[in-house]
Structure 1
Amino acid sequence: MSETVPVTVVDGEERTTIDVACGRTLRDALLDAGFEVYGSVSKHGNCGGRGLCGTCGVEVASGPEPTHWHDAAAARYGYPRLSCRITVAAPMTVRLVEKVMWGQLLPGESG
């Protein structure tokens, strides 16, 4: 049996902890658990977890250090990290962000 780690997901006012197998991508684990990481349009047209479309963003409250090139841009411009580029290896807490169009937040909102 593979080792699992707890991932706490904050969705609005709700907090849910799911057990995720080490080595899975956060995006896949969230989708399998029924959480929506995409907006209304991008859930139908996205890159499938290849790190290209930028629409599966989540805010990481605690967890792995940024390692993907997108993370540097996210930190610089204040937008969420791509869940498809985060490998679950240790306990973490993430917050789902509301997406209005494609993967975008409303102007002036940090999530």
Structure 2
Amino acid sequence: MTDQSPPLDGDGPDGATDTAETVTVTVRTDDGTRRLTAPVGAVLRDVLRDAGISPYTRYTERLNCGGRGICATCGVRIREGETEPDHWHDRLADRFGYPRLSCQYRLTRDVTVEIPEKRVWGGRE
């Protein structure tokens, strides 16, 4: 998983853009926008953390469930490219307007995410 500038047409081998095996994760933070490249099927939480972007607060960075989908502290807002929730917590979060769990979000397409301000576990929309 690496930072990259926006892909350009003809950037890949033979002048084609290689998107079959990787996805682009655009992350909007208070510090600006970063684009990350990750393999299809990677867990969003892991991609963020590998890039030095934490979905947690300073307290929940240490006090979390380790990606098991039970503490709800790694929530992110999916702004573009969202897929249907397949984890019970994500289905409830989607229904009631709470952030999606980055530890349960598998990347299957390009997405744009925002890390919400975390009052407790992330406020509603």
TM-score normalised by the shorter chain: which range applies? 0.7 to 0.9
Whether 1:50 and 2:68 are equivalent positions in the alignment is: yes
Task: Give the aligned CA root-mean-square deviation in angstroms.
Answer: 1.8
Contact 1:40 1:100 in 2 (8 A): no
1:80 deviates by 0.2
Secondary structure of the structure 2 residue equivalent to 1:9:
strand
Shift >3 Å, 4+ stretches: none
Q: How does 1:31-50 map to 2 (within 5 A)?
A: 31-50=49-68
Aligned positions, number: 105
Higher relative contact order (CA 8 A, sep 6+): 1
TM-score by length of 2: 0.76
Contact 1:20 1:29 in 2 (8 A): yes
* Separation of aligned partners in 2, 1:27 and 1:10: 15
Structure 2 spans left out of the alignment, 5+ residues: 1-19
Q: How does 1:19-38 map to 2 (within 5 A)?
A: 19-38=37-56
Structure of greater Rg? 2
**Per-residue Cα deviation, 1:17-52 (whole angstroms, up to 9, x for no partner):** 100111110000000001110011110111111101
Q: Share of identical aligned residues, percent?
A: 44
